[in-house]
Amino acid sequence: MRQAKKPANAGAVLGWLALAALAPGAAHLRAGRRRTGLTLLSCYAAVLLALLAVALTTDNLLGSLTEDSWLTAILVGAAVLGAAWFALVVHSFVVLRPGRLPQSGQIVTGTLAGLLAVAVVIPFGMVSQLAWTSRRTIEGIFAEAPSDAPSSGTGERPEDPWAGRERVNILLLGGDADDNRIGVRTDSMNLASVDVRTGDTVLFSLPRNLEDVRFRPGTPMARRFPDGFTLPPDPGGGRSDLLNSVWEYADAHPELFDGKQHQGPQVLMDTVGYTLGLQVDWYVLVNIWGFARIIDAIGGVTITVEQDVVFGKYNEGLVKAGTRKLKGADAMWYARSRTYSDDYTRMRRQRCVLGALLDQADPATVLARFNRIALATKELIRTDIPRPMLKHLVPLALKVKNAEVSSVQFVPPLINTGRPDWKEIRDIADKALRDSTGTASPVATPSSTPSRKKPATPKAESGNPVQRITEGCGGPL
């Protein structure tokens, strides 16, 4: 075999070593080990081609990355490749024969070669850690198997995960559960109705103080409250029979459901669906402080605060007016405070925060801050989205990111929260969906239920109730 020309100096050794870290086998070829070098280069090319083939031939690649088998394969593959690349750099350094250099050159090249061997492992370690964190987060939040409910997506055709449906409806809830508070009150209720083809979304916001809530006929809650959800006033004069108390009441009365526990989520989903004339597929309940931590995890959210927002038990907190990036706690109080305000203004602020999050939480930001976001999502109290559906929800979420998102807020003067016209609410929801997609709502509108007699409130002219999710954000109240 013809002897290869040796590197002349420390710079040449380091140069060929760096090239070998990018193109395995280069150092071996330079050292005259032609067979080994060509074998390493061939293996490297085969790995690259295999990864390219997987990327090009896998339908819904991003969605597949939520599956346990893929995450495990990535975790193991990254660990193996990291160890192999470390060994490759070390062996490449050896075959370049740095012992022929002067002692000072040996020290310099040996030190830098060691640093390079460690450096090439770091990307593989990051990938492994990303896969491990993803796996633990997904396992901790999402159910492994689909629920028994028909809406869970069970039995869908592989080519059509939505089983022929045109829209998927997810109930987004903000709860005030706390260590010092019994039960869950859902003070923020938004139903996101997403067109599965385009990602166009209509966000229906329901007020927490909606009275005389009606339940789907034939259900245990409808039998218990045939004339609407009504309870005696609380000892302090408060109300525990508003829409935001449905979950808590159902959880507290398992006897209504033949002793079954934790029926609150299903009852609230069914109630909201019946109210809007839609089928609710799943729900996501986030603790208010979990909401704040998620905002902190993405680095804050830029919002225009129209006027000072006061908060706190003794009005000691203040979110000052102006356009700036808010930390999680300030954004949470901006969205939640009712001090010197009301439920409806708060609902508008919540919509503005959701719109800002949708606009600013781009994929690059999420990836760069993935670990913090994954840790923050542990504050997610509960969801019934089955894990197998994540594969299909990921690309749908990306569609929503770049699609048209409109909003309907069921607040006065659009509706009278004390004496709701249920048929009108369903008609408004149906029209909003038809305007969004150009087709009728896929779920038949239930017949309305007469309200109890209450003093009528004159209805103001509401105009078009459908607006962009960020419409009115940053402008005067």
User: Per-residue pLDDT averaged across 53-82, rounded?
Assistant: 92
Q: What is the pLDDT of residues 381-427, one digit of tens each?
A: 689 999 889 899 999 988 888 888 899 999 999 999 999 999 999 99
User: Per-residue pLDDT averaged across 101-121, rounded?
Assistant: 94
User: Per-residue pLDDT averaged across 365-382, rounded?
Assistant: 76
For residue 462, is pLDDT > 70? Answer: no
Higher pLDDT, 165 or 44: 44
Give the confidence band of 155 by pLDDT, cuts at 50, 70, 90. very low
Q: How far is residue 160's CA from residue 163's CA, in Å, rounded to a whole number? A: 6
Give the torsion through C-alpha atoms of 359, 360, 363, 367, to 10 deg: -160
User: For residue 244, what are its two tokens?
Assistant: 């935001």
User: Per-residue pLDDT averaged across 148-153, rounded?
Assistant: 41
Amino acid occupying residue 196: V
Cα atoms in the 13 Å half-sphere on the side-chain side of 259: 0
User: For residue 313, what are its two tokens?
Assistant: 């038990």
Give the confidence band of 149 by pLDDT, cuts at 50, 70, 90. very low
Are the C-beta atoms of residues 429 and 442 closer than 8 Å to each other? Answer: no
Helix (H) or strand (E) holding 370: helix 370-376
Q: How far is residue 409's CA from residue 273's CA, in Å, rounded to a whole number? A: 15
Q: How far is residue 456's CA from residue 459's CA, in Å, rounded to a whole number? A: 9
